[in-house]
Amino acid sequence: MLLLGVMTLPLPALADSAPRPPEFRQVPPLPGVWEAAKAAGFQLEGFAAAQSGKLRAGDAATALVTWTSGNRKRQWIIELEADGLTKAESKEKEESVTYHTSTGHQFTMGGGCAALKLRVAGPLEGRAAADKSPIAAPQVRQRRILISPDYLALGLDRMPSLLLRLNAVSKTHPKAAGDFNLGFAPKPYPAEEVAAARRRMAQSAAAGVKVDIADEVGFVGAFLAMQEFFTVADSTPGIQEVLRSVVDIPWWSIISRGGKADIHFTMLPKVRELEAAPWGLPAADKIYAMPIQLDINGKPGLVFQLAVTKPRPPLTVCAGTVGFAAGPVSGKGPVLTFQIVSTRRKP
């Protein structure tokens, strides 16, 4: 897919009128859903310790997805498990991509290939608490897809970390922080644009925010990780129809199935650190809320926020994303949320 990407990081004071994504909703399993998960062999609790290293076959994460519209709720249970490649698949290579940043640097990323097994139960409507009849195992849909583990391993946590540093500097140097932006594209930028971007970076560095090569890699990598995350979501059986209620399908298809598009992510206000405990992770883990507006070809497509941490295995299967909340840009309509509720690491 050829994408022209730009990531803009506005300061909260400059974006009071920006749309607000739905808040995270850590919805517990509806009555009967826990039993249904057990009947179908899903694990809804227990987190494996995050480890360094690469994704291994058997690493897995389970998410509880909730669709809310007024008083109505539906839930899905999704298991993502890394799988070994077949002999034929092991000969394939995910096509690597090269991006040039507006500061004049060039990065080539990707090239690896891995398989991901998806198991989905739902939609589950829940049942009355007084209903004590036996729970039948729900229908479970399965799918196996090929993904780029390299993109997932890039993660998303560097972007909010950088923005929080910029926000801190904005209190004393608002112009240096406010002028920051980083563009990236498949082709090199004109020399005058590179010179202007480097001047802005120098201003930020003078104000106390030095953006190094690792930050730029994380910045561009987050774009690819987010794209891979949405590709996995769109490949998940049964979830496609739910996404129709929060994002326009023609635009979604551009992202997930390929095509040429001008994609612009804008980080919205309320980027912040989150407490780790509600997400089931150790207190020392850094978790960030990333509110984002996605524009495609100049038109608003979706407003959402992600709860992200370092994509260490087994959380690499979801690019380190442990929570998600999305809704229409208008702020009216259904809300789709999910939370990772368990993980396991292959011994």
| Cα separations in angstroms, 138 against 28, 38, 40, 120, 123 | 18, 10, 6, 10, 9
pLDDT tens per residue across span 214-226: 888 887 888 788 7
Q: Where are the beta strands (DSSP E) in 60-194?
A: 60-69, 72-83, 97-101, 106-109, 114-124, 140-147, 181-185
- In 3-state terms the chain splits into helix, strand, coil percentages (rounded to 5) of 30, 30, 40
Which helix (H) or strand (E) is 284 found in, with range?
none
Going from the C-alpha of 68 to that of each of 59, 75, 326, 344, the distances in angstroms are: 30, 9, 11, 28
Note the pLDDT of residue 223: 77
**What Cα–Cα distance (Å) separates residue 27 from each residue in 11, 23, 34, 39, 339?**
31, 12, 12, 20, 8
The pLDDT tens digits for 287-325 are: 999 998 877 677 777 788 999 999 999 999 999 999 999
Euclidean distance between CA atoms 340 and 87, whole angstroms: 31
**What's the full length of the chain, in residues?**
347
DSSP letter assigned to residue 139: P
Q: How far apart are CA 212 and CA 164, in angstroms?
A: 16
Can you give the pTM of this predicted structure?
0.83
Written as one letter, the residue type at 199 is R
pLDDT at residue 158 in the model: 85
Cβ pair 265, 294 in contact under 8 A: yes
CA distance 163 to 79: 32
Pair 299, 147: CB distance under 8 Å: no
Collapsed DSSP state (helix, strand, coil) of residue 73: strand
Distance CA 90, CA 59 (A): 18
CA-only gyration radius of the chain, Å: 20
Smallest CA-to-CA distance from 154 within 324, 340, 316 is with 316
Q: Which amino acid is at 337?
A: T
Which pair of tokens denotes residue 287? 């978790």
Gap between the Cα atoms of 339 and 319, Å rounded:
13
Of 157, 84, 76, the closest CA to residue 120 belongs to 76
pLDDT at 13: 41
Contact between 263 and 255 under an 8 Å Cβ cutoff? The reply is yes
Give the H/E segment covering residue 345.
none
- How crowded is residue 130: how many other Cβ atoms within 10 Å of its Cβ? 6
Q: What is the mean pLDDT of each successive set of 10 residues along the chain, which is 347 residues long?
A: 44 57 88 87 90 89 91 90 87 77 87 86 72 70 87 86 79 66 84 90 78 82 78 74 59 52 73 92 93 77 89 92 88 88 90
* Amino acid at residue number 170: S
DSSP characters over 209-222: ----HHHHHHHHHH
pLDDT on residue 4: 41
